[in-house]
Amino acid sequence: MNRGKECVVVGLLGCGTIGSGVYHLLMKNHEIISKKAGREIFLKRILVKDIDEPRPFKVDASLMTTKPKEVIDDPEIDVFIELIGGLKPARSFALSILSKGKHLVTANKELLAHHGGELVSVADKNASHLMFEASVGGGIPLIRPIEGSLGGDRILRIMGIVNGTTNYILTKMSEERCTFKEALLEAKNLGYAEANPRNDLEGHDAASKLAILSSISFRAGVTSSQIYREGIDRIRPEDIDNARELGYVVKLLAIASLNDGEICARVHPTMIPLEHPLASILGNFNAIFVVGESAGELMFYGQGAGSLPTSVAIIGDLINVVKNIDRLPDSRSYWSNEAKMGSFDEVITRFYMVLRVVDRPGVLAKIADVFGRNKVSLESVVQKGEGREAQIVLITHEVKERNFQEARRGLEGLDVILDIPSVIRVESA
Ligand code: HSE
């Protein structure tokens, strides 16, 4: 890589799986990248934790330093690519970069989901470009299509499979009828799930991504703490079988909608009809289904993680920043305004529920009474099993979350109910 007079100088913060992929692409496709950016791109310095750590792609060690100041405070660097992840020290690095009027490309979903409003306001004040295509959906173009191509429409609803690890586990449980634990072990062996996969399994990763998508789609600052969240660890192979028998598949969905000016955002396991476009998204792939008021239904599909797919999104942002480096960036001032969130209790959805009950006359009548008193109407009821115990598998009609949870508490208090092993929300569109 040569350093021409007109070049744009780049600093890389973090050089693990993604960072080394970015380096690899910058070297391999250097000519085409610089041509598209309209200026020569010169990678000057790389901040790392450990120079000798193993990386999927070989990186020139002479560019590396373990001293943050040698990169962050280098006055020659125009554009920084932040791939450290997490909040500390990424937030202070990002604020320092943006407050100096330098430009930032980041893949850091947590940072944006927690501090998006703060970052965009510092970026706006200092005319800094801030790009984050890789923060949601890895290599899937999503942020710029929503902000740009769909910029003239009102987004009404987003429904996405935004976590590859959980989608891999649910697909494996569905295809091979294995348990959650077995599928998780396989995901770990294949390197999909991290050593401590709580972030993925409990829905934190998906909630961060949904906070970003909601903020740019509904033009208000949504943080991950405002998102209702449930993970997939309680899904049983029986639920996946029941879902299939009933014509559904179970997915961990990130869902956000705008109703009467209020945003409702939630992440939870969801049963969707087998014919829904998201039902066919298998393995570790991601897909995001977007409904625009005028554009109608759209779906974005692809690799939601991985070194090279994510690196492509980062390089795309870098090209965009370099191309527009002398222009004022578009403001995202809306992000500093706290979003008006609707109450999760008011969400209307359907529910799948499994009740383990004592099998004797009058049991169904007692259950029906609790549902009736709480205005929960049933769409289908199937009794399974024989002997002294039975399982009742039911699906409700649309009902408010509050009413359903009230009915659930009522059922838990009935002496004929032994256990409620499963409750999963059901979405149609
Ligand atoms: N842990 C994430 C996933 C990786 O499984 O999708 C990309 O954010």
Q: Is the pLDDT of residue 298 over 90?
A: yes
Q: Which of 399, 390, 403 is nearest to 426 (CA)?
A: 399
Candidates 3.40.50.720, 3.90.280.10, 2.90.10.10, 3.30.160.20; CATH matching 7-138+309-336: 3.40.50.720
CA of 107 to the centre of ligand 1 (A): 11
Rounded mean pLDDT, 280-302: 97
pLDDT at 263: 98
Nearest CA to ligand 1 atom 8: 305
Which tokens in the block code for residue 370? 């609790």
CB hemisphere CA count around 63 (13 angstroms)? 20
Residue 166 Cα: closest atom of ligand 1: 5
Q: Is the pLDDT of residue 364 over 70?
A: yes
Rounded mean pLDDT, 391-420: 97
Q: Is the pLDDT of residue 387 over 80?
A: no
pLDDT at 385: 77
CA of 200 to the centre of ligand 1 (A): 7
Q: How far apart are CA 318 and CA 137, in angstroms?
A: 17
Tokens 């906070």 map to which residue?
Answer: 211
pLDDT above 70 coverage of the chain, percent: 98
pLDDT at 342: 97
pLDDT, the chain, mean: 95
Q: Is the pLDDT of residue 169 over 90?
A: yes
**Cα distance from N-terminal residue to C-terminal residue, the chain:** 50
Candidates 3.40.50.2300, 3.30.70.260, 3.30.9.10, 3.40.50.620; CATH matching 345-426: 3.30.70.260
Q: Is the pLDDT of residue 428 over 90?
A: no
Pocket test residue of 108, 205, 288, 314 for ligand 1, highest count of atoms within 8 A of CB: 205
Residue 305 Cα: closest atom of ligand 1: 7
Q: Quickly state the pLDDT bin for 5 (edges 50, 70, 90).
A: low
pLDDT at 252: 98
Q: Is the pLDDT of residue 17 over 80?
A: yes
Q: Quickly state the pLDDT bin for 402 (edges 50, 70, 90).
A: very high
Q: Is the pLDDT of residue 156 over 70?
A: yes
Q: Is the pLDDT of residue 2 over 70?
A: no
pLDDT at 193: 75
Q: Is the pLDDT of residue 125 over 80?
A: yes
Asked if CATH classification 3.30.9.10 holds for the domain at 143-303, the reply, yes or no, is: no
pLDDT at 175: 95
194 against 313, higher pLDDT: 313
Which tokens in the block code for residue 327? 């222009």
Instruction: Please state, in angstroms and as integers, the Cα–Cα distance from residue 166 to each residue in 91, 269, 286, 330, 380, following that order.
Output: 27, 10, 10, 35, 28
The pTM assigned to this predicted structure is 0.96
Question: Which of helix, strand or coil describes residue 25?
Answer: helix
Rounded mean pLDDT, 382-410: 93
pLDDT above 90 coverage of the chain, percent: 93
Query: pLDDT tens digit string along 247-275?
Result: 999 999 999 999 999 999 999 999 999 99
Q: Is the pLDDT of residue 4 over 70?
A: no
pLDDT at 189: 87
Asked which of 59-63, 131-135, 195-199, 347-351 is least confident by mean pLDDT, the reply is 195-199
pLDDT at 236: 95
DSSP result, 2-19: ---TTPEEEEEE--SHHH
Q: Is the pLDDT of residue 410 over 90?
A: yes
Nearest CA to ligand 1 atom 7: 305
Task: Kindly list the domain boundaries of the chain, sorted by start residue.
Answer: 7-138+309-336, 143-303, 345-426
In 48-129, beta strands by DSSP E = 64-65, 79-82, 103-106
CA of 165 to the centre of ligand 1 (A): 6
